[in-house]
Chain A
Amino acid sequence: MIRERLIFEISDKGKNGFRFPKLDVPENKSLNDRIPMRDSIKDFPQVSEVEVVRHFTRLSQTNYCVDKGIYPLGSCTMKYNPKINERIAQIENFITSHPFADPEMSQGNLEVLKTLEDVLREVTGMDAFTFQPAAGAQGELVGMMLIRACMEERGDPRKFVLIPDSAHGTNPSSAHICGYKVKEIKSNDSGTIDLDDLSNNMDKDVAAIMITNPNTLGVFENQIKEASEIVHSKGGLVYMDGANMNALMGICRPGDMGVDAIHLNLHKTFSTPHGGGGPGAGPVGVKKILEPYLPVPRVKNKDDQYFIDEDCPKSIGRVHSFYGNFLVAVKALAYILSLGPEGLREVSETAVLNSNYIRKSLEKEYHLKYKTPTLHECVFSDKYQKQYGVSNIDIAKRLIDLGVHPPTMSFPLIVHGALMTEPTETESKADLDSFIEAMKQIAEEAREDSGILKSAPHNSYVRRLDETAAARNPKLRWEP
């Protein structure tokens, strides 16, 4: 297999061909004497355009991607990215608009942001949104900051935030950066929040609970209203991690469950491309109680005129250089307008159908720690395969041989050897079946020929990479 070299390894003097027009103003030679300039950029690549194009074309072909096949990563909602959204996000007047342009010059942009806010309010049952957070994790941080600001105004920010043991690691991290200490709430045998444990831990020192619904096991927190009651009764607020919104659209709304603040992931639920790790967007929706604290500026309208409101004295401030990831918001709005109310409901119904189909088809071969009904994702474990010395990592690496991307591994922490599986609604039955067949083949190989799993993958561009060496002796850049 031909290995793609690094661009620095094919670089050579005199090869770069990009030309600018000749300088059309008279050259001022004195600048070189007045301003400290660099000599050269040491070892900076010099390559031709054809080499750059081939380099990245070949590199791209070593990536698996949603455009290629099923990508059942739990908690990530790897759904198909509609191509019309890409074309819309490239409209000239969107991409060339400067963020400091006056509102009168940017009415189209402001209409996009306000319209997206209005539809998301309806979808989630919340009262107001901010689009500044550039990612889900940043949205979470903003959500916690809003809660803290509200508590501070009441006179006491309080000390703790309650987080279920099934939560994603960003949750405790966001709480910590806001100056809160974390207390873990246990999950019960159904995999949902243990209300007794919650009651015991909820007091006047707790500012909020951070919940995910459906939770990271794919289970709907059916006692969420009761949980919210417990928290509200002691003056706390309820934050929801909205990463799993794909199961709920048109079915039920966080705002109707006692949630005070929620972040959404536009790059998950609302189909904007993941890009190999961004850019995404993590807008935060709030109930009226938290609206005064939202990041500034806010986009508002009076009839058909849109304007920017910077007069928000209680705002937590700014979290982004400008308006957030605007082009990502454009794509999300295009998606919602393309689907309409029935379309969004169909998305959630089909996401849940597809996931339950996989669950039913594999529940004999793979252990499910919790027997509770699940919605859009479910968490298998490697328990049955462990007896043959096969772990979830081996299963994942063998799936690569069979042409499928593995599910999310080793998360949530409450399931040992987890394989969190979320197909999303855009998979065909044939693609679902190919995943199911691959998993069944692996279960059989675990019994008959576990060696082939432990040495997988065999056919990929690179095989198992030494992550230990990478962490012990970090090589983080090319050197000549």
Chain B
Amino acid sequence: MSYIALSEKDKKEMLKAIGVSSPKKLFDCIPGDIKLNRDLKIPTAMSEPEVMGYFNECAQKNKNSEYISFQGAGAYRHYIPAAVDYLSSRGEFASPYTPYQAEVSQGTLQSIFEFQTLICQLTGMDIANASLYDGASGAAEAVLMAMRINRKSKVLVPKTLHPHYRQVINTYTRNLGISVREIGYDETGRIDTTELEKNLDNNTSAVVCQTPNFFGVIEDLDKISAYAHENKALSIAVLAEASSLGLLKAPGEMGVDIATGEAQSFGIPLSFGGPYLGFMACSKEFVRQFPGRISGETNDIDGNRGFVLTLSTREQHIRRERATSNICTNQALCALRATIFLEILGEQGLREWARQNIQKANYAYDLFKDIRGVKAFFSGEIYNEFVIKTGKKWKEVESEFMRKNIIPGISLERFYPELEHCGLVCVTEVSRKKDIDRFAEILKGILAG
């Protein structure tokens, strides 16, 4: 395939205008000993039907469509309304650049402004940015932001925060002289508040808390925020399952200073992990330390309302070494999908959606825990994920399920060696009652044998 739009005649005229005999002469500025002087050893060009065929074959090697899955852990299977794909695939949204020339980018800028407002409404916070790469980088950026605000260098991070998010925080903070202290969990599956209190002191910059946490358990953010503030530390809430905002009490109503997380649930398909959609919101007093792009409202010279990227001097392309963060891009098209998704669902849709998640998951939880040999491992209240433990190794349980074309969840032992034989099961609104019932039957069968 070629996407060049020049005819032979065009090229001749252009070369004549430039004053060179061939395009190769334009590379004379490159020293001969650097030039490649051979063809690239990559596959020969494919036509459009061939490249489509190659990828169809490639995709067939994935087996996911053959299974019903109960996997969650930071990536959630939800329904996506048709209008989301339809509108976000418009070339006017997909093909422009970052909206630096505001006069010709109002579509993008106004959509971002609506996204920011929706995130504020959902989280109950004052201001939100135009999005970040994903939940993990959001968590890392929130930690860096807390450090910039209070200049303290210790942060408390729970083991109940998604293991990958914790790893990303470590990667980001390693070179900055920041000490990250992990806090354990108790039998409810929540942060161990005794251990938290013991480790909180005047050097603590922030306390991070994920809710619902990696085990699916809902944390008591009110209490965590109170502990943090008593020690003049900031309270950072991380949400990996944004749909929970449709029903559960908002972080902003629970003393949280920075709310961040993953909004993949808002209309973004699983996509083998990316592109996803990080979001961040905070109290307005922290605006100068807030990372990421922000769209702001203003007027033009005729007095008409318009939107511009604003507070740009926080950003690194201007601040350079003094930048508040490294973020240059957002995930605009993903944020647009989320905006359309939220506006299509509306308040009623959002509540009903979250309600079905919590109801179906609790139905499954109650059903499974009554099976002989199954323990609902944590006693804390859950949203749409929970941990079960059986007498068998999870790998064995999983193999049996796979034979019946079900993926029962995610093994926890790889992240928490102390959680032998435990699995994390996720139930969303797309899980049907008959699938949940079948899960229970199969599990019963495996453990009876």
Are A and B part of the same complex?
A: yes
Of residues 267 through 286 on chain A, the ones whose CB sits less than 8 Å from some CB of chain B are: 271, 273-280
Of residues 238 through 282 on chain B, the ones whose CB sits less than 8 Å from some CB of chain A are: 245-250, 253, 262, 269-276
Chain A residues whose CB sits within 8 angstroms of the CB of B300 once the complex forms: 462-466
Whether A251 lies near B36 (C-beta < 8 A) is yes
Whether B301 lies near A463 (C-beta < 8 A) is yes
- Determine whether B329 belongs to the interface, using a CB cutoff of 8 Å to chain A: yes
What is the bound-complex CA distance between A372 and B131, given in angstroms?
Answer: 40
- Determine whether B103 belongs to the interface, using a CB cutoff of 8 Å to chain A: yes
- Give the distance to chain B from A108, nearest Cβ to Cβ, in Å: 4
What is the bound-complex CA distance between A347 and B362, given in angstroms?
Answer: 56
13 A-B residue contacts at CB 8 Å? A18-B345, A18-B346, A44-B347, A44-B350, A46-B347, A97-B270, A174-B316, A222-B31, A252-B36, A274-B95, A321-B274, A322-B272, A405-B104
Q: Interface 1/0s, chain B 162-176, versus A by CB < 8 A?
A: 101101101110111
Q: Interface 1/0s, chain B 115-142, versus A by CB < 8 A?
A: 0111011100011101101111100000
Of residues 314 through 365 on chain A, the ones whose CB sits less than 8 Å from some CB of chain B are: 316-328, 330, 334, 336-347, 349-350, 352-354, 356-357, 360-361
Q: Please tell me which stretch of A195-203, A439-447, A469-477 contacts chain B, meaning at least 4 of its Cβ atoms lie within 8 angstroms of it.
A: A469-477
Q: Please tell me which stretch of A133-141, A232-240, A382-390 contacts chain B, meaning at least 4 of its Cβ atoms lie within 8 angstroms of it.
A: A133-141
Total A-B residue pairs with C-beta atoms closer than 8 Å? 651
Chain A residues whose CB sits within 8 angstroms of the CB of B164 once the complex forms: 318, 321-322
Q: A341-B39, A429-B13 are in contact. Are A105 and B29 (CB under 8 A)?
A: no
- Determine whether B71 belongs to the interface, using a CB cutoff of 8 Å to chain A: yes
Chain B residues whose CB sits within 8 angstroms of the CB of A173 once the complex forms: 316-317, 319-321, 323, 325-326
What is the bound-complex CA distance between A271 and B287, given in angstroms?
Answer: 35
Q: Please tell me which stretch of B188-196, B197-205, B333-341, B386-394 contacts chain A, meaning at least 4 of its Cβ atoms lie within 8 angstroms of it.
A: B333-341
- Determine whether A289 belongs to the interface, using a CB cutoff of 8 Å to chain B: no
- The chain A residue sitting closest to B2, CB to CB, is A343
- Give the distance to chain B from A219, nearest Cβ to Cβ, in Å: 8
- Determine whether B285 belongs to the interface, using a CB cutoff of 8 Å to chain A: no
Of residues 1 through 26 on chain B, the ones whose CB sits less than 8 Å from some CB of chain A are: 1-7, 10-11, 13-15, 17-20, 23-24, 26
Choose among B69, B287, B366 the residue with the greatest number of A CB atoms under 10 Å from its CB: B69
The contact of A320 among B73, B168, B311, B366, by CB within 8 Å, is B168
- Give the distance to chain B from A109, nearest Cβ to Cβ, in Å: 5
Whether B23 lies near A350 (C-beta < 8 A) is yes
- The chain B residue sitting closest to A34, CB to CB, is B381
Extra pairs beyond A65-B94, A477-B126 (12, CB < 8 Å): A3-B304, A25-B433, A44-B122, A52-B340, A101-B62, A319-B171, A321-B165, A338-B46, A429-B14, A462-B304, A465-B103, A476-B116
Chain A residues whose CB sits within 8 angstroms of the CB of B62 once the complex forms: 93-94, 97, 101, 105-109
- The chain B residue sitting closest to A63, CB to CB, is B107
Chain A residues whose CB sits within 8 angstroms of the CB of B358 once the complex forms: 31, 35
- Determine whether B92 belongs to the interface, using a CB cutoff of 8 Å to chain A: yes
Whether A96 lies near B270 (C-beta < 8 A) is yes
Whether A16 lies near B63 (C-beta < 8 A) is no
Whether B310 lies near A471 (C-beta < 8 A) is yes
Chain A residues whose CB sits within 8 angstroms of the CB of B4 once the complex forms: 346-347, 350, 425-426
- The chain A residue sitting closest to B294, CB to CB, is A476
Whether A346 lies near B61 (C-beta < 8 A) is no
Whether A92 lies near B65 (C-beta < 8 A) is yes
What is the bound-complex CA distance between A169 and B102, given in angstroms?
Answer: 21
Chain A residues whose CB sits within 8 angstroms of the CB of B323 once the complex forms: 169, 173, 176
What is the bound-complex CA distance between A216 and B43, given in angstroms?
Answer: 31
Q: A62-B106, A67-B95, A318-B164 are in contact. Are A44 and B121 (CB under 8 A)?
A: yes
| Number of residues on chain B facing chain A (CB within 8 A) | 202
Whether A277 lies near B130 (C-beta < 8 A) is yes
A-B complex: 6 closest residue pairs judged by Cβ atoms = A322-B273, A16-B346, A340-B45, A275-B333, A99-B273, A67-B91
Chain A residues whose CB sits within 8 angstroms of the CB of B342 once the complex forms: 44-45
Of residues 395 through 428 on chain A, the ones whose CB sits less than 8 Å from some CB of chain B are: 396-397, 400, 405-406, 409, 411, 425-428
Q: A31-B359, A322-B75, A457-B103 are in contact. Are A38 and B45 (CB under 8 A)?
A: no
Q: How large is the interface on A (under 10, 10 to 19, 20 to 34, 35 or more residues)?
A: 35 or more
Q: Interface 1/0s, chain A 301-323, versus B by CB < 8 A?
A: 00000000000000011111111
Q: Please tell me which stretch of B48-56, B149-157, B225-233 contacts chain A, meaning at least 4 of its Cβ atoms lie within 8 angstroms of it.
A: B48-56
What is the bound-complex CA distance between A275 and B274, given in angstroms?
Answer: 15
Q: Please tell me which stretch of B81-89, B369-377, B441-449 contacts chain A, meaning at least 4 of its Cβ atoms lie within 8 angstroms of it.
A: B81-89
- Give the distance to chain A from B385, nearest Cβ to Cβ, in Å: 12
Chain B residues whose CB sits within 8 angstroms of the CB of A55 once the complex forms: 343
What is the bound-complex CA distance between A89 and B176, given in angstroms?
Answer: 38
Chain A residues whose CB sits within 8 angstroms of the CB of B29 once the complex forms: 219-220, 222, 372-373, 375
Whether A8 lies near B94 (C-beta < 8 A) is no
- Determine whether A153 belongs to the interface, using a CB cutoff of 8 Å to chain B: no
What is the bound-complex CA distance between A27 and B358, given in angstroms?
Answer: 10
- Determine whether A122 belongs to the interface, using a CB cutoff of 8 Å to chain B: yes
Chain B residues whose CB sits within 8 angstroms of the CB of A104 once the complex forms: 63
Chain B residues whose CB sits within 8 angstroms of the CB of A428 once the complex forms: 5-6, 10
